[in-house]
Amino acid sequence: MSADPPRAAHAGVDHVHADDTLLVLDKPAGLLCVPGRGPDKQDSLSTRAQALWPDALIVHRLDQPTSGLVLMARGGAMQRALSHAFAQRLVHKRYQAVVAGLLRPARGSAGEWSEIALPIAADWERRPLRVVDAGRGQASLTRWRVLAHDEAGGTTRVELEPVTGRTHQLRVHLAALGHPILGDALYADAATQARAPRLLLHACALGFGHPLHGGWCAFASQPPF
């Protein structure tokens, strides 16, 4: 499959790829992946997709303020196969973000990959927040590298690869480094939140082996910021 296939938008769904087995959709920031509680939270990526493809089923999710690529299955058998691929860490995901401050690699030069290995746990008193907690947190690993520094603006554009898939993992890990994502209403201070009209986090790449024929599928989406 092409890494840059034709795009189309129908019924509020921007899809990068659609065939009889799976969908790759480009979710806008602010849209839920699945319906929430209450009549004001029924609009979602999955309900919009199911209006066009009734057999579309969710496989993974992005946070509501995060934009970018979401993979959906068509039918239960494909949903199980793709969910298994996610559970086995066979799906390669990349994100881009803009963070506060001039983030420097711990060693090596800009463009080389570094790692954040900090355990993440639910912050039950401040749900839905997560927190780094060495005692009760789950092992969590994020790879990151610097793409560009904005010296004048005091920000860094980074590429991120979540090796594990904890809730809010990228947001928590970057905040723990002291470089929260611009526009992050949960993990950034008020000044950093105010520097962007939205969370500057975008799921920009997906790669996986197709469960039926084994061929490698790769899809990309440019960040809108």
Q: What is the pLDDT of residue 40?
A: 79
Place of tokens 């993992």: 169
- Is position 202 within any domain? no
Tokens of 46: 């999955």
Q: What's the pLDDT tens digit per position in 123-144?
A: 988 989 999 999 999 999 999 9
How many domains does one find in the chain? 2
Distance CA 145, CA 152 (A): 20
Helix, strand or coil for residue 190?
Answer: helix
Q: Of 159, 182, 187, whose CA–CA distance to 171 is shortest?
A: 187
Q: By residue range, what is the domain housing residue 113?
A: 94-193
The reply to whether 49 and 134 lie within a common domain is no
Q: What's the pLDDT tens digit per position in 148-175?
A: 999 999 999 999 999 999 999 999 999 9
- Is position 225 within any domain? no
Active site residues: 63
- Is position 183 within any domain? yes
Half-sphere exposure of 3 (CA within 13 A, CB side): 7
